[in-house]
Amino acid sequence: MVDPVTSPEDKDFFDNPVLRLEDGIRALSHFFPKTDPSFYHGYLVVSNTVEIRSVTIQSDIQVINQRDLESRLTADLEDNADVLDEKNIAFINRVLAVMGSGDDLEQRLMDLKAQMKQESEKKRAARKAMEAEEERNRKLEQQRIGNAATKIMVPPGTNPAPVRRTVRRTRPEDRFTRAELALRDALILWRQQEAENLGVGDKAIFDDFALDGIVSMKPQDVVQLRTIPGFDTTRCQAYGSAIINMVRHSPC
């Protein structure tokens, strides 16, 4: 967590940013009680024009100048390589590159945000097109299976009455606890981000049946994950580590 500090202009007081950072870290620790507390780092970043002389803080919050932010983050990321993956680090480096390239910081950050939004929209459009194609293929497959079943089950020359089928649907809220629903939402968000990064549909990562299987079983290793329908060896190798890490750090 990084809290930038600027000088107050039209007021003679400001909130203690150290306390705000500490409150944020406590909130994260409370929401993810199984997460190692050392995963959380707080940085109080002040302008380069500010001279840091003596700062006494009882917590692990680090007070640094903006010019030292990149080197400090780089060092901390190297010491905690298993916390962030390469995609997260690439995103951070992209922002840091903009922050360290001259004046007009606000405008350059806005330009970066617009550029990343445009990239995200392109990936989203590609994902929707793939999902539409998958849906068409699914319907064609269902139609093919239905036609094959009709040919087998209906004797020639007969005209059977249509059979009305009732499909019972239950909401996730009716099947899972609040903690399990929180894990399910986290998995859905992770699946969306992973699919967006790969330019594929969400269900190409794993479908909702596999999603609910993870929430129900809460696999603690790849062997348990492999028993969930939809998770073959390839999916376990690609996504197993991230999924198991989320399960272990969930409040379930």
Three-state secondary-structure class, residue 4: strand
Q: Name the CATH superfamily housing domain 174-248.
A: HRDC domain (1.10.150.80)
103 burial class (0-12, 13-18, 19+ CB within 10 angstroms)? exposed
pTM: 0.37
Looking at residues 180-203, what average pLDDT do you find? 91
Is residue 43 within a helix (H) or strand (E), and if so which, with residue range?
strand 43-46
The tens digit of pLDDT for each residue in 117-158 reads 888 888 888 888 888 877 887 787 777 766 655 554 545 555
* Contact call for residues 21 and 3 (beta carbons, < 8 A): yes
Positive or negative torsion for Cα 182, 185, 189, 195: positive
Tell me the two tokens of residue 235.
């999916």
Domain ranges of the chain: 2-101, 174-248
Looking at residues 189-202, what average pLDDT do you find? 91
Report the pLDDT value the prediction gives residue 224, as an integer from 0 to 100.
93
Tell me the two tokens of residue 152.
């087998």
pLDDT band at 165 (very low <50, low <70, confident <90, very high): very low
Report the pLDDT value the prediction gives residue 101, as an integer from 0 to 100.
64
pLDDT band at 12 (very low <50, low <70, confident <90, very high): low
**Cα radius of gyration (the chain):** 25
What percent of the chain is predicted at pLDDT more than 90? Answer: 21
- The phi and psi torsions of 2 (rounded to 5 degrees) equal -120, 130
CA atoms within 13 A on the CB side of 15: 10
